[in-house]
Amino acid sequence: MSDPPKYILEGLEKQSPETLRKIAQIATEMADNKERQLETELEEQEIADRPTDLDRDDAPSSATLTTKEINGNRYYYWQWREGEQIKSEYIRPVDPKR
């Protein structure tokens, strides 16, 4: 993590403890919002990157497409629940060239 810009630190030094606590609260809320936004963008990108050539007929009706990383390589799996167990079925590598 990088240090805050000098102009921000200089401005903060001039604030009262009450104001600093309020600024800290606002900064925490802003950081949380940015993290949620980034997670949403990553999820949307992952959905957009999913292959369109996979045949849903080959998967159980409740299965969802998941990506697993094993030894630095990523693979597609169908994943679903049967009772208390989570089942997975290998599909293919994310990058078919590997």
Phi, psi of 60 (to 5 degrees): -60, 150
Q: Are strands 85-93 and 73-82 parallel, antiparallel or unpaired?
A: antiparallel
pLDDT at 59 exceeding the cut of 70: yes
Please, what is the Cα angle at 85 between 83 and 90, to 5 degrees?
125
**pLDDT score, position 97:** 72
**pLDDT score, position 46:** 66
pLDDT in tens, 16-40: 999 999 999 999 999 999 999 988 8
What is the DSSP annotation of 4-51? PPHHHHHHHHTS-HHHHHHHHHHHHHHHHHHHHHHHHHHHHHHHHHS-
> 0.85 cut: is pTM over it?
no
